[in-house]
Homo-oligomer: A and B are copies of this chain.
Amino acid sequence: MHWLRDAYRFVFLLLLLATATAQAQPDPLPSWTDGPTKAAIIDFVERVTEVGGPDFVPVEQRIATFDNDGTLWSEQPVVEGMFALERLRAKAVEDPSLRERQPFKAALEGDKVYFSQAGPQAVAEVLALTHAGMSETEFAEAAAAFLRRARHPDLGVPYTALVYQPMLELLAYLRENGFQTWLCSGGSQEFMRVIAQPLYGIPPERVIGTRFDLKPSERDGRIEFRREPRIATLNDKQAKPLNIHVQIGQRPLFAVGNVHSGGDIAMLTYSAERSGPSFQLLIDHDDARREFAYQEPDNASLSAAREGGWTVVSMKRDWQRVFAQPQAQSDRQRSE
């Protein structure tokens, strides 16, 4: 009965292999420190995907929305702002009167105090002037060229190197578990569409952003849309849930934003008010050594997180690695 013993041995080996494979299942979030934040994320994902479990959520309701600036990549400075500034400088050469008119004067002079007082509408005006008067195709080409050419003023690396590695892992982990990952950014929809697929694997139809009035026009005999210098929706604060409603039609099961201007509180609240389970993640920029440290003067986002029981990410404690491109990290540390 040699063959029978061999067969048993073979089955035993198979079982051993299967067990080893199960145990060797790789850590889905290797750049996250083992601890309560990482555990809370994994616990939530396991609960809502457990077929037959009390918190199971069907795949079509697994909507995850991510803010972009300060959530998926660094926002010191805001990259689209640097793009707008480059375009504004070029426009000011053609039309020097821009140097005397606000908010363009402040933008050209780097007057941050003006913008912090004037609020998002002033930023929107700069965006409108620098983003309008082009077809979508021309805009996409201009944005892509900027991203290839531009370097971070302090770090000297391309902005695309400043994507957060732990967030790339979180995006992939959620998608592996049947989640749709969406971008919901205060940046313009078209700028975000240029980066969303190559940087985050998020397709154009899952990008929600600030939008301009669009006017149908013709270019090379084809219908195109020209941006008018008027904001149709400034996708910040209360507008985020509203535009999520328009483009998704469901409350996010998983929503991620960051501490900076309170811009994500409404989106995370909207998610938290979902019937049934939901998860809110708020990123706190508390790592001056590896990235940047900044707070809100009124602490609104952290207060909302405490009140709502949201999970707060301390970049310092919860992330073992910050940037997707290791070069960016060492440059950051050298630049100190």
- Which residues from chain A sit less than 8 Å from chain B, CB to CB? 60, 63, 136, 180, 189, 193, 197, 203-205, 207, 211, 214, 216, 221-223, 225, 238, 241-242, 245-250, 266, 269-270, 273
Contact = CB atoms under 8 A, between A and B. Distances in A.
Contact of A242 (B193, B197, B214): B214
8 contacts: A60-B203, A180-B205, A193-B249, A205-B248, A205-B249, A216-B238, A216-B241, A225-B241
A180 B238 CA distance: 30
A320 to B, nearest CB: 32
A204 B241 contact: no
A284 to B, nearest CB: 24
Given A60-B203, A203-B60, A223 B248 contact: no
How many subunits of this chain does the assembly comprise? 2
Contacts of A221: 273
Given A238-B216, A245-B136, A223 B60 contact: no
A189 B250 contact: no
Contacts of A214: 242, 245-246
Chain B CB count within 10 A is highest, among A193, A203, A207, for A203
What 8 pairs between A and B have smallest CB-CB spacing? A204-B249, A222-B273, A205-B248, A216-B238, A223-B270, A193-B249, A60-B203, A225-B245
Given A60-B203, A63-B205, 7 more contacts: A60-B197, A204-B248, A205-B247, A216-B242, A223-B241, A225-B245, A247-B247
B203 A266 contact: no
Chain B CB count within 10 A is highest, among A214, A249, A250, for A249
Contacts of A204: 248-250
A141 to B, nearest CB: 14
Contacts of A273: 221-223
A250 to B, nearest CB: 6
